[in-house]
Amino acid sequence: MRVIDETGKQLGIMPLLEALRLSGDKNLDLIQVTEKVVPPVCRIGDFGKYLYQQQKKERKIKQVGGELKEIRIGFNISPHDLEIKAKSAEKFLKKGDKVKVAMPLRGREKALGNFAKEKMNQFLNFLETLIPIKVEKDLKRDLRGFTMIIFKK
């Protein structure tokens, strides 16, 4: 097997018993890094530290989806303000974050759901001209108003 020491220096190809003796002399573990190549690659090092580094890599991979940012659109928002909100959503999307678009409805605004949907669609149409988007969670009405989640294609 190919052996690498704790500093990253290659020690070359050696038998398993010799690699185990070498790691035992240094009070470290012999860790198999990959088995897909011939001969398999092993590293001399602390196994607990190796596991910690692997978990750290996995956490970083899971975070690739980005954070969930929220953009709130008012019921009586003007078209120009809608454009500004879309530009701020574009910044979030370019960073790789998901965007939750929310339109809270109060009082009598709840009775005018079609008008609110139209405003949300205007926002999405303007955002589509800036950056290609994909809807993760469709426009949904809940107790407080409308919400949807979008991300960059």
The per-residue pLDDT for range 85-108, each reduced to its tens digit, is 999 999 998 888 889 999 999 988
Task: Enumerate domains of the chain plus CATH numbers.
Answer: 2-62 (3.10.20.80), 66-152 (3.30.110.10)
**How much is the pLDDT for 56?**
86
**How much is the pLDDT for 65?**
57
Round to whole Å and give the CA distance between 130 and 150. Answer: 14
Q: What percent of the chain has pLDDT over 90?
A: 46
Q: Which long-range contacts (CB under 8 A, 24 or more apart) does 141-146 make?
A: 141/113, 144/102, 144/104, 144/105, 145/102, 145/103, 145/104, 145/105, 145/109, 145/110, 145/116, 146/102, 146/103, 146/105, 146/113, 146/116, 146/117, 146/120
**How much is the pLDDT for 64?**
56
